[in-house]
Structure 1
Amino acid sequence: MIKKIVMLFLLLCSLNVHAQIVDTWAFNSNEEQELSLQIASQLRCPQCQNQNLLESNAPTAVSMRHQVFKMVSEGKSESQIKRYMTERYGDFVLYNPPLTLSTLLLWLLPVFAVLCIIFILWKTLKVKNKINQPVILLDNAIPLIEKYNQTHSDIQLLPAINNEETLQHSHWNKISNTLILIIICIMIAGYFLLPRFHSTLDLYQRQNDPILLFTPLERETQDLQRLQADIRQSPENSELWAVLGEYYLYQNSYENALIAYGYALKYRGENAQLYAAIATVMYYQAGQVVTNDTQKMIDKALSLDKNEVTALMLLASDAFINANYTTAINIWQNLLDSNNPRVNRAQIIEAIHMAKLMENSGKQ
């Protein structure tokens, strides 16, 4: 009994706990941090789809979150940041997208579905009320039945009444089934009409131009086009290839990201950050699982820099997701001890506190 009371108390305490993503971004002031977090909380992660940028640890959310932080530090307003995000990722990143032709179905479909459900329930209750009032109907119909029986027998009368009720019930079933079928068809059609897509591979376009090794994205932004043009002018610039790899990582185009990071590693040489970036791509490509290849990339990154932040944060995040709280705490503590300027100490301390809380609750 005491154990149940303690568990209930911990559950009530957890209502006031707000989980925040562990990040390494260093803000210039508390006001800048507050504004950045406020804007990031209003934007949806395109990869997770049901989490905002602060709640998600997906690579797309991390990159978008950092872009928000960067634009806030540059003095951009909230409207400018949201406009930039919608131009790059579409209106889907907004929790309340504007009413346009492309989002009209998204806004009207729930209303139509609710109205149809209300109509079906109303008709069902109406039919049931008719069935549940036979005594009243018979009392009113007795004079008519007696008059009718002068020329017809009861055996002829009752089947006629039953047939009429059966026809009405059958007619209503057809209407309700048709409405349900229409709703299902609209929902299926809406899924394909909404702006979500996966571009197909164009293998026949592989030529000497390294840019054409990538599967084309349906909505290439001006930034991507400029970046591709810069790479064609300086094909051995490893920094440009790394930026391109990060861009494809934002788009969840993992194969393209690996190709870009491969070129960056080729022209830059052994680099801990690039190995950690490749490990991150492999990790999310495998569905947030540390495979043997991912572990090899992490090991290479840490062999070059034992305090490489991205690699250690990836290990800590994976340990936390898999409930290996002790391992996650140790890694985060090592990051704190390294005094790396890339580390956000306040957020890591908060993450350690959360991991300890989860660890203690699991032991009870």
Structure 2
Amino acid sequence: MIQERLKKVLRIMEEEKLPQMIISDPSAIFYLTGKWILPGERMLALYITLSGHDKLFINELFPMSEGIGIETVWYNDVQKPVEILAKYVEKDKPMGIDKNWPSHFLLRLMELKGGSTFVNASGIIDKVRMCKDEREKELMRNASKLNDIAVGKMINLIPKKYSEKKMGKILSDIWEELGAEGHSFDPIVGYGVNAANPHHVMDGSTVKEGDSVVIDIGCKKDSYCSDMTRTVFYKYVPEHSKEVYNVVLEANKRGIEKAKAGVRFCDIDAAARDYITEKGYGKYFTHRLGHSIGIDDHDFGDVSSVNTDIVQPGQIFSIEPGIYIPGEVGVRIEDLVIATEDGCEVLNHYPKNLMIVE
């Protein structure tokens, strides 16, 4: 499987006449090698070539228990890693660089290899990663199952009136109990007016009667991410909040109904956005409809009004419409879907019907 992924990358490099490439993103390196290496500020570079002289450049601080089938070049903290890498780079040939390589490494390599052309080649690895194989789909299903359980536990805690911050701390314990590897992103618990901030940072606020409660959480399991949002209400639902909720729910359903291989991402976005606009809440839907997900919570690609790419079978992305009325109410409902030829598979199964927590 790992070798097949590398072959796909090399095939695209050949098509694009790119003889060599440096990959530095730890997620991409994990995808191609099966090994997680988190180097911090130190240089990590997977150098792959059409000539077969592939090498992994890594600091000695990050030993691996076993090989990865690629020659490893080690360096230590008193050596200059870019100079070591430069000795292996094929002279005067185009070099692909991924978008995450720190500029101080790139600029030094450009100084040392002035005759080479450097191009952003991130699209190559992104294209390979965006369509999940059957193993990846199963891992995503497993992570989402844990998320279904966790969001139920979080909702059941609302009557205890814990602060948002306390809810976040409890979620960490829930992930540990469920056997997850931790959060896939910084979780969001927003009460009342805080729910109207799409990326609210949890604080000491506590829930009040009539509040909407936005819970946007996800975990990592076996290195793959889950992500889901549910909105519930505490004690009762104000009439206007009920209307807002039902509009968001219908938009979520329309986005899911539109999602399938062969359609454009922008048309999926429009299916949800146009309905929200029609109902008079367009200016309160302030973000794209969704994002791709896999090893990273935000993989390459999104579901937005400007993305005219065609959905491919096996792509996994979120459908998460929201309405955020400052000072009043916020509602978001998010599901992950796997695109298929004739529709999509929804990965989240926690109920979406309007829920009042007593």
| TM-score (norm. length: structure 2) | 0.25
Q: Which one has the largest radius of gyration?
A: 1
- The structure that is helix-richer by fraction is 1
Structure whose residues are more often strand by fraction: 2
Structure 1-normalised TM-score? 0.24
